[in-house]
Amino acid sequence: MAPPAVGLVPVEEAQAHVVAACAPLRPNRIPLAEALGRVAAERLVASEAVPPFDNSAMDGYAVRAADTATAPVVLPVVATVGAGAVPDVPVGPRQAVRIMTGAPLPDGADAVVMVEQTSSRSGGREVEVHAPVTVGTALRRAGEDVAPGDMVVDAGTALVPGHLGVLASVGVSELSVFPRARVGVLSTGDELVSGSGALRPGQIRDSNRPTLLALVTEAGCEAVDLGSASDDETSIRAVFTAGTQHCDAVVTSGGVSMGDFDLVKVVLGELGDMRWMQVAVKPAKPLAFGVIGTTPVFGLPGNPVSSMVSFELFARPALRKMMGFPPSAWRRPLLAAVAEELLERRRDGKTHLVRVVASLDGEGRYRVRSVPGQGSHQLAAMASANALAVLPDGAGVSAGEVVRVMLLSSS
């Protein structure tokens, strides 16, 4: 890749700077039922076997396999055992016990004949076995799924539904996980109003706050609405001070550009250890990042598309790191896709992120086309896209060429 324009910070450098300043949160113990989507902070080892006992994989008859060698053969049925019952009658030579799926295997038996391979005789007192079975047929042995001492979930695993089931199967009812980050979201700007009331001249509606609150939630965090601050230092300072005391991280938008009223970077510089960057990316060039006390503050640009892209590039990876996710799960998936049309750009020392619709073709390959409206204020166009095509500095990507895309949603 060509070097970025003078004074611009490469995207990777800005990302590395931000991520390095954000440490994983302290783990806590929670009930298993609340663990979906959390990252395990401990290695979980089974203390018991699954299945806990040898049992039948089928409805049928528990037998001694050797007795079926001369099948067809008729055997007396000496007992019945259902799932959850304890067999009290063993299977003796040339005997059978009626058994249900999941029921413990009676002593003496070494195979199960599935009911479809049998005929009931004498009102159920006898069974005819049609074909021979071998030792172990239709049996599930104790520990075949999990043996005592097996690791079922490693530390650093992001928990999906199957993990919760496995943990339940070995009797784990609570575990240590990295908590959700509580992330405050703040808008800044004298022009902003919330809600649906009439706009006075010069006013616009605050769209960044709902968007960023949703992105924060989607990233797995607990979103906290910190409202909106006007463009004065006192107001911004007050919200920052309160927000950083009550939250694990704060995300703000607006006030980080070159304008006279861009006071977020001023206040952030006063309150904390702040770095203000012009990143070699379009959109989302300005970024103020700082730490107040121990709380990271992400000062994202105000333009609605820029704030979303900046969140994806810088805030999301850092917040995911704070929640214990491994580096592979910090960012959105980066895929290879075929450009259906020319994705044009000019050389300017920046990486361009083009709003595209990515869809799977008949061969299971992603194909992308750009959405109309690529301005950093055109949020509706951004909302209609599901991916960002990553165009390195240069002349763009021709139709039919492969381009990397950051997939924002798969629908």
- Cα(39)–Cα(47) distance, rounded to whole angstroms? 21
Q: If 0-12 CB within 10 Å is exposed, 13-18 middle and 19+ buried, where does residue 62 land?
A: buried
Report in angstroms the alpha-carbon separations of 302 from 40, 44, 103, 306, 338: 35, 44, 63, 7, 32
Work out the end-to-end distance of the chain between its first and last CA atoms, rounded to an integer number of angstroms.
31
The yes or no reply on residue 257 touching ligand AMP (CB under 6 A) is: yes
Selection from Mg ion, ligand AMP, none that 303 binds (CB < 5 to 8 A by kind) is: ligand AMP
Q: Given the rule CB under 6 A, which of 125-133, 247-255, 352-360, 396-404 is the region that contacts ligand AMP?
A: 247-255
Which one, 151 or 204, has the nearer CB to ligand AMP? 204
Q: Given the rule CB under 6 A, which of 120-128, 137-145, 299-307, 312-320 is the region that contacts ligand AMP?
A: 299-307
Helix or strand run (H / E) with residue 30: strand 28-31
Q: Enumerate the H helices of 158-198 as residue ranges.
A: 161-169
Which one, 95 or 376, has the nearer CB to Mg ion? 376
- Integer-rounded Cα radius of gyration of the chain: 31
Three-point CA angle 203, 208, 210, nearest 5°:
110
The yes or no reply on residue 254 touching Mg ion (CB under 5 A) is: yes
**Smallest separation, CB 236 to ligand AMP (Å):** 11
The DSSP code sequence of 136-169 is TTTEE-TTSSB-TT-EEE-TTPBP-HHHHHHHHH
- Cα(297)–Cα(250) distance, rounded to whole angstroms? 5
**Smallest separation, CB 375 to Mg ion (Å):** 17
The yes or no reply on residue 310 touching ligand AMP (CB under 6 A) is: no
The yes or no reply on residue 301 touching ligand AMP (CB under 6 A) is: yes
The yes or no reply on residue 285 touching ligand AMP (CB under 6 A) is: no
Contact mark string toward Mg ion, 179..198, x via CB under 5 A: ----------x---------
SS3 content of the chain, % helix, strand, coil (to 5): 25, 35, 45
SS3 227: strand
Selection from ligand AMP, Mg ion, none that 187 binds (CB < 5 to 8 A by kind) is: ligand AMP
Selection from ligand AMP, Mg ion, none that 207 binds (CB < 5 to 8 A by kind) is: ligand AMP
Q: By beta-carbon distance, which residue lies closest to ligand AMP?
A: 302
**Smallest separation, CB 302 to ligand AMP (Å):** 2
Which residues of the chain form contacts with ligand AMP (CB under 6 A)?
187, 189, 191-192, 204, 206-209, 253-257, 259, 262, 301-304
For Mg ion, the binding residues (CB under 5 A) are 189, 254-255, 302
